[in-house]
Amino acid sequence: MKIFVDADACPVKKEIEKIAKAKGIKVVMLIDTSHELKSDYSEIITVSKGRDSVDLALINMTSTGDIVVTQDYGVATMALAKKAYAISQNGLVYDDSNIDQLLFERHISQKIRRGGRQLTSCKSGKFKKRTTEDDIKFEQCFERLIDKIRE
């Protein structure tokens, strides 16, 4: 088992490394050339900047039983298709019971935006600031996922 991280905008890189190191799991973080990342534990792979370049490289490296950390539903879907596990930065474990609904909601949202309308939840243009509680929730869900896989 390896952990692959869509690391360009991932706010839980330190949490991932802390848990992976404690459990002896290799971590590979992928970024594009517009980002810079250093780590004493993880392997950092930089790919060319381009639409979906990190996503495609990450999925090409993923194998059955690996864990993918991503907020991208499309990447999560491809990971699940490869019999890997996928989890979001907020601790949502993607699986066959929720991925279709998430993709459908994304599709509807894109359709609304293309039609020139704003979604009610995005009117302010501001996102809720990430909290320590968000990081703790991710850690708990991430650790549970690893433990479940190892059972």
The enclosing domain of 107 has a CATH number of 3.40.50
Report the chain's mean pLDDT, rounded to a whole number: 88
How many independent structural domains does the chain possess? Answer: 1
Inter-residue contact 69 to 2 (CB < 8 Å): no
The two structure tokens encoding residue 142: 């991430």
* Amino acid making up residue 53: S
Whole-prediction pTM: 0.84
Q: What is the pLDDT, as a whole number, of residue 128?
A: 77
Owning domain of residue 112: 2-150
Tell me the three state secondary structure of residue 97: coil
Alpha carbon separation from 86 to 22, 29, 138 (Å, rounded): 20, 14, 13
pLDDT at 88 over 60: yes
Inter-residue contact 16 to 142 (CB < 8 Å): yes
